Amino acid sequence: MFLALRQVRAFTDNGLRLIMSNLKEISSVKSFGGFQKVYSHDSSELKCEMKFGIFLPPDADKTKYPVLYWLSGLTCTEQNFITKAGCQKYAAECKLIVVVPDTSPRGCKIEGEDDSYDFGSGAGFYLNATEPKWKTNYRMYSYIVNELPAFIEANFPAIPDKKSIFGHSMGGLGALQIALKNSDKYKSVSAFSPICNPVNCPWGIKAFTGYLGEDKTTWEEYDACCLITKHGSTYPDILIDQGTADNFLIDGQLNPDAMEKVCAEKKVPLTLRRQEGYDHSYYFIATFVEDHVRFHAKFLQ
- Mind telling me the catalytic residues? 169, 246, 280
Chain Cα centroid distance, residue 238: 15
Asked whether the beta carbons of 117 and 123 are under 8 A apart, the reply is yes
Phi, psi of 32 (to 5 degrees): 50, 40
Q: How many CB atoms are located within 10 Å of the residue 193 CB? A: 30
> For residue 132, with 0-12 CB atoms within 10 Å meaning exposed, 13-18 middle and 19 or more buried, which class applies?
exposed
Helix runs in 103-255, H state only = 140-142, 148-155, 170-181, 202-212, 216-219, 224-231, 247-250
Q: How many CB atoms are located within 10 Å of the residue 273 CB? A: 13
| Among the listed residues 220, 204, 295, 183, the one whose alpha carbon sits nearest the alpha carbon of residue 254 | 204
CA atoms within 13 A on the CB side of 191: 28
Alpha-carbon Rg for the chain in angstroms: 18
Q: Cβ contacts of residue 224 below 8 Å, gap of 6+?
A: 173, 176, 177, 180, 194, 196, 197, 259
> For residue 264, with 0-12 CB atoms within 10 Å meaning exposed, 13-18 middle and 19 or more buried, which class applies?
exposed
